[in-house]
Amino acid sequence: MFSVTVRDHMMVAHSFRGEVFGPAQRLHGATFVVDVTFRGPELDADGILVDIGLATEHVHAVVGALGYRNLDDEPAFAGVNTTTEVLARHVADRVAERVRAGDLGSARGQVTALAVTLHESHVAWATYECDL
């Protein structure tokens, strides 16, 4: 199995509902390092799994759509706690849509799975994985 990972980052504001979140129930900021890993068992005729330039461009577009926003105000997250896990799934779903649509070139036929990791800090992160 081959894998190619590209990295971006985003800064967001959000709050959580529920006592389990303690002081994070108040509006606060978060900065995430975002790693998107493309996986597949075969390479294309050029010897690549995914064009790293295209992958970087599309991951940046997906992540950029969330950056510098108060996620509490975003319709896509209405009534949802935007935990690290939830945001990892959201990014994975949006990137997967682009792969399936053919926006990442030959990756449509090569990439069979994605893993998106959002790093909250140097000691904590969450990953969401999906098959394509």
Structure tokens at 54: 């295209």
Q: Which residues, 6+ apart, have CB-to-CB distance to 29 below 8 Å?
A: 11, 12, 13
pLDDT at 37: 98
CA atoms within 13 A on the CB side of 128: 17
Task: Give 127's strand partners.
Answer: 117
DSSP state of 41: S
pTM: 0.96
Q: Find out whether 85 and 120 touch, Cβ atoms under 8 Å.
A: no
pLDDT tens track for 34-85: 999 999 999 999 999 999 999 999 999 999 999 999 999 999 999 999 999 9
